[in-house]
Amino acid sequence: MIVLKGAEVSARIKEQVQRMLEGWDGPAPKLAIVRVGENPDDMSYERGAKKKLESFGLRVDSYTYPADISDADFKEAFRAVNEDRDVSGILLLRPLPKQIREKDIEKMIDPGKDLDGISPANIAKVFAGDASGFAPCTAEAVVEVLKQNDIGITGKRTVIVGRSMVVGKPLSMLMLKENATVTICHTRTKDLEETCRGAEILVAAAGRAKMLNGEYVGKEAVVVDVGINVDENGKLCGDVDFEAIQDTAAMATPVPGGVGAVTTAVLAKHLVRAALERRR
């Protein structure tokens, strides 16, 4: 089985970003990472994104607020970030605390700065096949992994396990745009094993540790694991039992070191694209 490492794809995207910035003058595009509270997963992602974007030569500022901030106060603070001319793009770490009306924030965010595709305008564009919008970074990262490894998508039987608005649903639209034949499954799908075994491209995004084992993977399938979980030994793992599929799958992404590394590279590319479009 060939291991599809995210670092190699990330390096190619970095080259794309550098080409996009040729002729750019003035301060580099700036990302605003907005975080409420001290969730360890959010803080870990924030550190990783900051390190990756700065390695691409981009600027990153963090805007952090206490977990008990009121809805009104957060909206006022978010509006200031949203309207800041020095900010080219925004990454809002979610979910937000319950007292904040998250749907209101999704409507507030400037679609031109909405790098992770949470605004109604960008979601509509993704579902309409309009490439001018920003798709969620993780969903787009899956497509990048396939394309950068010269894995054909057109006509391929593609099964996506997971139906969230972060990965499953938008990814299904991106794959359809690439002319894949897409089936969306979830944890309540009947005959899930059989459906997954029929996939030429299998994407695991259900959020359950090692949920998919060798019984779910067909011979010579390409497996992309989006899940990030902690196993019984306290180690990071994906939604796929990586060891169990090695004799079956043709290719697979590892966890860690797979899609996650590509997601932050896609975020960087979105930031530069947003900055260029705003300047134009």
User: Domain check: are 150 and 251 in the same one?
Assistant: yes
Q: Are 169 and 184 in contact (CB under 8 A)?
A: yes
| 219 shares its domain with 255 | yes
Query: In the structure encoding, which two tokens stand for residue 66, read together?
Result: 């206490």
174, with CB counted inside 10 A (0-12, 13-18, 19+), is buried
The verdict on residue 47 lying in a domain is yes
Section 106-120 average pLDDT: 98
Would the pLDDT of 233 be above 90? no
| Model pLDDT for residues 189-228, shown as the tens digit of each residue | 999 999 999 999 999 999 999 999 999 999 999 999 999 9
pLDDT digits (tens, 9 = 90+) for 51-75: 999 999 999 999 999 999 999 999 9
Query: Would you say 200 and 222 are in contact if contact means Cβ atoms under 8 Å apart?
Result: yes
Q: Which residues of 11-49 are buried (b: 16+ CB within 10 A; e: fewer)?
A: eebbeebeebbeeeeeebbbbbbbbbeebeebeebbeeb
Q: Structural domain of residue 77, as residue ranges?
A: 25-112
Instruction: Check whether residue 64 and residue 171 sit in a common domain.
Output: no
**CA dist., res. 15 & res. 88, Å (int):** 20
Question: Is residue 231, in this structure, part of any structural domain at all?
Answer: yes
Task: Note whether 159 and 221 are same-domain residues.
Answer: yes
What's 42's domain CATH number? 3.40.50.10860
Decide if 8 is inside a domain: no
Question: For residue 140, what pLDDT is reported?
Answer: 98
pLDDT at position 25 is 93
Structural domains in the chain (count): 2
* Structure tokens given for 183: 């089936």
256, part of any domain: yes
265/230: higher pLDDT = 265
Q: Is the pLDDT of residue 231 over 90?
A: no
3-state secondary structure of 114: strand
Query: Residues with Cβ < 8 Å from 120, sequence gap 6 or more?
Result: 106, 107
Band of pLDDT at residue 142, cut at 50, 70 and 90: very high
CATH number where 153 lies: 3.40.50.720
Residue 229 and residue 171 share a domain = yes
Which pLDDT score is estimated for 26? 92
Question: Sorting pLDDT into bands at 50, 70 and 90, what band is 161?
Answer: very high
Q: How large a percentage of the chain has pLDDT more than 70?
A: 100
Both 152 and 103 in one domain: the answer is no
Q: What is the largest CA-CA distance in the chain?
A: 56
**Overall average pLDDT of the 83-96 stretch:** 97
Residue 234 has pLDDT above 90, yes or no: no
Contact 72, 85 (CB under 8 A): no
Mean pLDDT of the chain: 97
